[in-house]
Amino acid sequence: MSKLPDSPRVLCLANQKGGVGKTTTAINLGTALAAIGERVLVIDLDPQGNASTGLGIERRDRSMSTYDVLSGDCALEEAVKETAVPRLWVAPSTMDLLGLELEIASSGDRAYRLRNAIEGLTKSRLFRELGISYVLVDCPPSLNLLTINALSAAHSILVPLQCEFFALEGLSQLLSTVEQVRGALNSELTIHGIVLTMYDSRNNLSSQVVADVRATMGDAVYETIIPRNVRISEAPSYGKPALLYDLKCAGSQAYLRLASEIIQREREMRPVAA
């Protein structure tokens, strides 16, 4: 297996639980990174296509999707779409992705379809023109072949955890999947960090969960905590990231802080390259 190119940095948002904030983080962290000068591609690997919708890509504009890319029908650069956010692009998904796993199950490169597609992208003219520095992959709520493709293609995984009673449930399974992928498919894969989401300051349980997760996972947990914020949940229905819908709201501001923290961590992880 060839080494991952140093640039773009590929981060995948994964947690097999649904509703923990993966897609919201892909959209708003992507927008926040773009706002501070990075050039970002969000790859939607969830058949639900919520990241694509939340970034304003209508279903009828998804004639080239991540399904076409992973099934080998088009190159990733052909699926890349502009969004309303400067310096942010998206490769949208469609429901077709639901059938992909079966279609590619017996092919030898089934776990490397995304990795190969990103490698192809880095050699394209479009890539040089856009100057993409970060790729964020939004995973489905399952440890299926789509998520394995994301983990095989990524430098790091970012795990959103919702501040609720069962936050840590399932985390050990996710982390052991990461170990397996590192052993068998992608030796470079690291854990970038854990981001706590939907924190409710009026709820004692939320702060208890933060304390528990920090006690268990230590420095892996980002300092930034994403608050539960109604503006964040409203924004997708306007096809906009929260940062465009209401930049001043607490949720948008938290995603901006998370973006800085991630860049800071990247510098610490790769002192020479930075």
Q: What is the smallest separation between the CB atom of 233 and ligand ADP, expressed in angstroms?
A: 4
Closest CB to ligand ADP among residues 8, 227: 227
Closest CB to ligand ADP among residues 20, 104: 20
Number of residues counted as binding Mg ion (CB under 5 A): 2
Q: What is the smallest separation between the CB atom of 123 and ligand ADP, expressed in angstroms?
A: 31
Measured from the Cβ of residue 98, the count of other Cβ atoms closer than 10 Å reads 14
Q: What is the smallest separation between the CB atom of 122 and ligand ADP, expressed in angstroms?
A: 26
Query: Quick check: helix, strand or coil at residue 166?
Result: coil
Instruction: For the chain, give the number of residues.
Output: 274
Taking alpha carbons only, the member of 166, 226, 217 closest to residue 196 is: 226
Using CA atoms, how far apart are residues 112 and 146, in angstroms rounded to an integer?
10
Residue 229 interacting entry, from ligand ADP, Mg ion, none, C-beta within 5 to 8 Å by type = ligand ADP
Q: What is the smallest separation between the CB atom of 227 and ligand ADP, expressed in angstroms?
A: 6
**Mask: binding to Mg ion, 15-44, rule CB under 5 A, as x and -?**
-------xx---------------------
88: which 2 tokens?
């942010």
Closest CB to ligand ADP among residues 127, 199: 199
Residue 266 amino acid letter: E
Closest CB to Mg ion among residues 4, 159: 159
Which residues in this chain contact ligand ADP in the complex, by CB under 6 A?
A: 18-24, 50, 141, 197-198, 226, 228-229, 232-233, 236, 251
Measured from the Cβ of residue 72, the count of other Cβ atoms closer than 10 Å reads 14
β-sheet bridge partners, residue 227? 199
β-sheet bridge partners, residue 191? 157
Residue 232 interacting entry, from Mg ion, ligand ADP, none, C-beta within 5 to 8 Å by type = ligand ADP
- Which residues are CB-neighbours of 80 under 8 A, at least 6 positions away? 41, 89, 90, 91, 121, 126, 130
- Chain contacts with Mg ion (rule: CB under 5 A): 22-23
